[in-house]
Amino acid sequence: MTLMIDDYLIYLLKTVGKFFINPLFYFLIFTAWFIGLMRIKRERKQFSSKVADFTVEFRTALVQGLLVSLALSIIFVGLGLVLDKSFFILLTYSVLIMCLTMKWKYLSPIFTIGTVLILSMASVALNKFHNLNYLPRTFSEVQFQEILVVLGIMLMAEAVLILRNSWKNSSPTLISSKRGKTVGAHTMDKLWILPIFFLIPGDIANEITKYWPVIPTSYTEIGIILFPFPVGFQMIAQGDIPKFVAKSYARKVITISIICLILAGASFYYPIISIGGIALVTILYVYFSIKARYDDSVKAPYFSYKNRGLVILSVMKNSTADKMKLKVGEILVKVNGVEITSVKDLYEALNLNRAYVKLEVIDEEGQIRLVNKAIYEEDHHELGIIGVKNMAV
């Protein structure tokens, strides 16, 4: 028994080691770096300064999803869901295709896994002319039921990531309103890399697999693979605070994932449901995605000039404003006792006292709070707020 456990641990360590030589993992890291590079380039062009450095994208990609990855690994292994190696080969191709579009929303599981199905069915046709042993050779070999289960679970994971993390460190941008005026908005370009354990046909002894509730398949031995599953998100928030826009969208994704999981459960009794279920879930996702973006776009711009105060479009990292816990979407009403309505007013009010700043702020709940702080020599001479005009103050 001890020998079996030792062998299993060695196999598991080898699996983890192979993860770090997977070219897809490093390609996704490069993609995260590229997202950060494009963000900084845009911020410098519009605001003459970057809001945060490129490490934000790396932390998002590699750290924020670790707990979700652990939960997904437990779920997939616990279910005993065995996926053929062709799924991971085609998923790799799918991710590469989606990354090349530079539209990070296409890294949602609905698109990457959906593309896997398209590539699977295309491979069946290709096998008539080429002998591709590592891909499905017949329509019956495409794992529609298993893929629908994976899709439902991954959509739930996507919803959790959007709900908890997508709005954090969102990036300010300037867009044109319907009236042709420049207004503020926020872009949420996110990529999470989820290292997830999956079961595959392998060399693990039958004594180990009997402890798992394995879904009946034609396989008698099961192995484990650690795969870097990407989840992407992309949205512009102009009609409300990014947190509220993202959370509203996440609730829609949760609804779709529940529908998907219900269809997945039914498909094991009626297999034909799996094919129609995948199509239905994809249509629902695209519909809700378009509707969410439309609903936000028709709202009056949130980050625009108000009759009272100055809307905070963004707060620079490690700035005085950041230390004062000022947040995106809050409204500066008074600075050093002076009412402000513009960036110019803010400059003049700050110059009244360069050693101390006192702010009156309306928070996202509509409540007024007072914030004050002494300004020391080591503090930046600017407050660190980006207003609705393309100026940092």
pLDDT tens string 297-337 = 888 888 876 666 788 888 888 788 888 888 888 888 888 88
Q: Is residue 305 part of a domain?
A: no
**Mean pLDDT across the stretch 128-143?**
61
* Least confidently predicted of 31-40, 181-190, 369-378: 369-378
Question: 212 and 345: one domain?
Answer: no
Using CA atoms, how far apart are residues 207 and 240, in angstroms rounded to an integer?
A: 55
Question: 206 and 284: one domain?
Answer: yes
CATH number for the domain including 337?
2.30.42.10
Q: Is residue 304 part of a domain?
A: no
The residue that leads in pLDDT, 153 or 2, is 153
Here the tokens at position 23 are: 């070219």
Query: How many C-beta neighbours within 10 Å does residue 275 have?
Result: 16
Predicted confidence band at 219 (pLDDT cuts at 50, 70, 90)? Answer: very low
Question: 292 and 320: one domain?
Answer: no
Query: Quick check: 66 pLDDT over 60?
Result: yes
- Which of 272, 297, 322 is the endpoint of a domain? 297
**What is the pLDDT of the chain when averaged over all its residues?**
82
pLDDT at residue 322, as a whole number: 83
Query: Quick check: 35 pLDDT over 70?
Result: yes
Q: What are phi and psi of 125, to 5 degrees?
A: -70, -40
Using CA atoms, how far apart are residues 220 and 323, in angstroms rounded to an integer?
A: 59
Q: Model-level pTM?
A: 0.85
Beta strands 385-386; 314-315: pairing state: antiparallel
Domain count, the chain: 2
Question: 19 and 157: one domain?
Answer: yes
Contacts of 171 (CB under 8 A, 6+ apart): 39, 42, 43, 51, 186, 187, 188, 189, 314
Question: 276 and 357: one domain?
Answer: no
Residues in the chain: 393
Contact 242, 188 (CB under 8 A): yes
Q: Is residue 302 part of a domain?
A: no
Q: Is residue 228 part of a domain?
A: yes
Query: Quick check: 3 pLDDT over 50?
Result: no
Helices first, then strands: H and E counts in the chain = 12, 10
Helix ranges (H only) for the chain are 2-19, 23-47, 55-62, 66-79, 85-100, 109-126, 144-165, 206-209, 242-267, 272-297, 320-323, 343-350
Question: 280 and 350: one domain?
Answer: no
Using CA atoms, how far apart are residues 56 and 68, in angstroms rounded to an integer?
A: 19
Using CA atoms, how far apart are residues 347 and 247, in angstroms rounded to an integer?
A: 34
**Mean pLDDT across the stretch 18-45?**
89
**Residue 338 belongs to what H/E stretch?**
strand 338-339
The residue that leads in pLDDT, 95 or 348, is 95
Question: 163 and 242: one domain?
Answer: yes
Here the tokens at position 233 are: 């998100």
pLDDT at residue 393, as a whole number: 45
Question: 232 and 340: one domain?
Answer: no
Query: Quick check: 75 pLDDT over 70?
Result: yes
Determine what percent of the chain is predicted with pLDDT higher than 90.
37
Query: Quick check: 215 pLDDT over 60?
Result: no
Determine what percent of the chain is predicted with pLDDT higher than 70.
80
**Mean pLDDT across the stretch 186-208?**
78
Q: In this structure, what DSSP letter does residue 361 have?
A: E
**Residue 132 belongs to what H/E stretch?**
none
Residues 239-286 pLDDT 10s: 888 999 999 999 999 999 999 999 999 988 888 888 888 899 999 999
Using CA atoms, how far apart are residues 34 and 232, in angstroms rounded to an integer?
A: 14
pLDDT at residue 11, as a whole number: 60
**Mean pLDDT across the stretch 348-354?**
77
Q: Is residue 392 part of a domain?
A: no
Question: 333 and 227: one domain?
Answer: no
Question: 21 and 103: one domain?
Answer: yes
Best-predicted range by mean pLDDT (18-22, 143-147, 284-288, 321-325): 284-288
Using CA atoms, how far apart are residues 257 and 113, in angstroms rounded to an integer?
A: 14
CA-closest candidate to residue 83, choices 194, 192, 202? 202
Phi-psi region of 108 (alpha: psi -120 to 50; beta: other; left: phi over 0): beta
**Mean pLDDT across the stretch 73-92?**
89
Question: What pairs with residue 199 in β-bridges?
Answer: 82, 224
Q: Is residue 393 part of a domain?
A: no
Using CA atoms, how far apart are residues 268 and 258, in angstroms rounded to an integer?
A: 16
Q: Is residue 391 part of a domain?
A: no
Predicted confidence band at 204 (pLDDT cuts at 50, 70, 90)? Answer: very low
Q: Is residue 342 part of a domain?
A: yes
Question: 225 and 363: one domain?
Answer: no
Contact 69, 195 (CB under 8 A): yes
Contact 196, 73 (CB under 8 A): yes
Predicted confidence band at 6 (pLDDT cuts at 50, 70, 90)? Answer: low
Query: Quick check: 113 pLDDT over 90?
Result: yes
Predicted confidence band at 218 (pLDDT cuts at 50, 70, 90)? Answer: very low
The whole domain housing 112 covers: 2-297
- Which of 275, 297, 319 is the endpoint of a domain? 297
Question: 269 and 324: one domain?
Answer: no
Using CA atoms, how far apart are residues 68 and 50, in angstroms rounded to an integer?
A: 30
- Which of 235, 268, 297 is the endpoint of a domain? 297
Predicted confidence band at 383 (pLDDT cuts at 50, 70, 90)? Answer: confident
User: Angle, nearest 10°, between helix axes 144-165 and 66-79?
Assistant: 160
Tokens 């973006």 found at: 293
